[in-house]
Amino acid sequence: MNKSKIASKLIAAALSLTFVTTFAVSASAKPDSINETKVPPATSNHDLVVYGGSPAGVIAAVAASRLGLKVVLLSQSPTVGGTISNGLGATDVLVPSNVSGIPLEFFAQVKSAYKNQDAWRVTPKVAEKIFRKMLTAANVDVWLNVSATQASVVSGKITCLTIQSASKFCAKQFIDASYPADLLPLTKTKFKLGKEDLFDYGDDKGMEIVMQSRINITKTLNAQETASIDSLPFMEHPKTFDISKVKLTDGMPNFTYRFCISKEKKRPFKLDSKDLGYIPAWKVLVEAFTRAPCVGCRSTDLHTVTKFWRIGKVHGSKWDLNSLNSFTNFPLPRSYFSDSSTRAETNAGAARYIESFLAFLQSDPDVHPLEKNAIAGFGMCADEFTDNNNVPYEPYIREGRRLVGKYVMLATDQKTNIRKPDTIGIGMYHIDNKLSRRIHFKNSFYRDYTTFQQSKIYEIPYSITVPKTGPSNLLVAVGVSTSPLAYGSIRMEPHYMLIGQATGVAASMAVKNNRKVGEISVSELQGILKAWGQKLSN
């Protein structure tokens, strides 16, 4: 069969399956196909392995399965839906009309679930239920709590992933949709981490990237306060310090937790005994933060903003707790990427620390009333994550490894050079880079700052998903190829979702045409995406 006939069949499949699957998502009679307790077979063979249960991974798997591929989705957590199923309920959609294709199906189901209310805000259980239905309707095989320990690469192609139980998942094509982009080191695909390439592209011009003090403590500290501050986690405490010699390129990716909180069905915040030693430091820092000017502290009907939190209303009595001013935004330790066995301890420590800090703010008599009142009465949503102490299963990793792809998207591609011949969708979000270094020296607290800038509606190129060198059957849907600055805009779940759809379609084309992912017809890819309603330009 020639290429034009194959393309026509793919587009026809896209058109015919869109409405059938949309209907199936709303049905509840079909059994859930997610494997939660079964042990994987020793070896299983598929057309496509999607690694990562993120929204991008879900959409990629659904797209490829709708086009006839035998697909397996491997989630590294007990959930599917990534951060949206784990507390990020106030999704970052600045231009709703940008959302199209299969991602729009998800948000339409959100709107339906809440009886035609806001489509862009969703509680964790509802989000995961919708993602599960989409996967089941598309007949995607799903395995939870699965992490790859090894990748077999033969003649420039990945053949199988070996997981922690020694089972193998083998396929013709692979998509890395994990937040840390863990398949890149396993397959020896070139990547960047943190801010190591911050000044390599010239897109830092006009961005005013600096290391400066965030808070200065003017009072004289006693020995207990000094020791407490010196023990604060997720922070550097050098014995000597010269701000002029700080390497901004040493900065690491940023993470936090997005708790689901409520004033009704709630579990009270708990101050863990492991964190009692931080109380003297918190007292000092909260008092210093209270005196400092508050940037962006403007509340609305949907948000309550304090010196420490941006609290976004989701639905009913549930709210999405987000960090403000980076007090609970943390740089990830390098061990998170060099030794995955440390992740569980890092995640648990961060979640516990944030909850303990919340409990302290509610209960300590010295906390300023405005800050105390903002979170008064809140607790963890008692009906969410019921088998995990109401704590999300996954942290919110704002950035992981970034692929070195055929094209590297820059901040200028989001502000001025917005047209791309290989566009697979459109995006828009502020160029919002979180801190990558937190340094405490004597009575000052420093962090790196980058100018917050606006983007235009920009086109997202297919070439940022394709490795420049490496396996010819690997696509990347989350850790895409951008500069550190550009990642500050593209790192939003709706963007990941549309990239996921494109990589799922591209993988299907590569299988059916027996082509490398970097050699498929981009015009045919765009035709299929258009048939699904994906917007490729503004």
Is 89:55 a contact under the CB 8 Å cutoff?
A: no
Q: Can you tell me the distance from the alpha carbon of 346 to that of 323, in angstroms, rounded to the nearest whole number?
A: 18
pLDDT of residue 117: 83
Phi, psi of 224 (to 5 degrees): -65, -45
178-204 pLDDT, tens digit each = 999 999 999 999 999 999 999 999 999
Q: Can you tell me the distance from the alpha carbon of 85 to that of 331, in angstroms, rounded to the nearest whole number?
A: 22
What tokens were used for 435?
A: 């801190």
Element (H, E) at 57: helix 55-66
Q: At 68, is the pLDDT very low, low, confident or very high (cuts 50, 70, 90)?
A: very high
Q: What is the rounded average pLDDT for all residues in the chain?
A: 92
Higher pLDDT, 306 or 147: 147
Q: Can you tell me the distance from the alpha carbon of 503 to that of 467, in angstroms, rounded to the nearest whole number?
A: 13
Whether residue 512 has pLDDT greater than 50: yes
Q: At 39, is the pLDDT very low, low, confident or very high (cuts 50, 70, 90)?
A: confident
Beta strand 379-381 pairing with 330-331: unpaired
Q: Can you tell me the distance from the alpha carbon of 224 to that of 222, in angstroms, rounded to the nearest whole number?
A: 6
Q: Can you tell me the distance from the alpha carbon of 91 to that of 467, in angstroms, rounded to the nearest whole number?
A: 29
- DSSP letter for each residue of 300-315: -SSEEE-SSEEEEE-S
**How many CB atoms are closer than 10 A to CB 339?**
10
Whether residue 29 has pLDDT greater than 90: no
320-364 pLDDT, tens digit each = 999 987 789 999 999 999 999 999 999 999 999 999 999 999 999
Q: At 303, is the pLDDT very low, low, confident or very high (cuts 50, 70, 90)?
A: low
Q: Can you tell me the distance from the alpha carbon of 204 to that of 26, in angstroms, rounded to the nearest whole number?
A: 46
Mean pLDDT, rounded, for 408-427: 97
Q: Can you tell me the distance from the alpha carbon of 495 to that of 109, in angstroms, rounded to the nearest whole number?
A: 18
Share of the chain above pLDDT 70, in %: 92
Higher pLDDT, 368 or 106: 106
pLDDT of residue 214: 85
pLDDT of residue 521: 98
pLDDT of residue 48: 98
pLDDT of residue 35: 83
What letters, b where the CB count within 10 A reaches 16 and e where it falls short, cover 117-129? Answer: ebbbbbbbbbbbb
Q: Can you tell me the distance from the alpha carbon of 268 to that of 351, in angstroms, rounded to the nearest whole number?
A: 15
CATH T-level assignment (fold) for domain 3-190+403-429+453-531? FAD/NAD(P)-binding domain (3.50.50)
Q: Can you tell me the distance from the alpha carbon of 72 to that of 87, in angstroms, rounded to the nearest whole number?
A: 25
Cα 270 to chain centroid, rounded: 26
Whether residue 277 has pLDDT greater than 80: yes
Is 77:393 a contact under the CB 8 Å cutoff?
A: yes
Element (H, E) at 511: helix 493-513
Q: Can you tell me the distance from the alpha carbon of 495 to that of 54, in angstroms, rounded to the nearest whole number?
A: 12
pLDDT of residue 295: 59
pLDDT of residue 451: 87
pLDDT of residue 402: 98
DSSP-assigned beta bridge partners for residue 321: 259, 311
Is 510:466 a contact under the CB 8 Å cutoff?
A: no
421-466 pLDDT, tens digit each = 999 999 999 999 999 999 999 999 999 999 889 999 999 999 999 9
Q: At 280, is the pLDDT very low, low, confident or very high (cuts 50, 70, 90)?
A: very high
Q: At 297, is the pLDDT very low, low, confident or very high (cuts 50, 70, 90)?
A: low
Range with the largest mean pLDDT of 82-96, 362-376, 472-486:
472-486
User: How is residue 479 annotated by DSSP?
Assistant: S
Closest CA to 61 of 23, 87, 33, 20: 33
DSSP-assigned beta bridge partners for residue 474: 174
Share of the chain above pLDDT 90, in %: 82
Mean pLDDT, rounded, for 114-133: 94
Beta strand 157-163 pairing with 34-35: unpaired
The pTM for the full model equals 0.93
pLDDT of residue 490: 97
Closest CA to 290 of 227, 211, 213, 372: 372
pLDDT of residue 19: 34
pLDDT of residue 33: 65
Whether residue 20 has pLDDT greater than 50: no
Strand boundaries in 31-105, DSSP class E? 34-35, 43-51, 71-74
Domain boundaries, the chain: 3-190+403-429+453-531
Q: Can you tell me the distance from the alpha carbon of 146 to that of 148, in angstroms, rounded to the nearest whole number?
A: 7
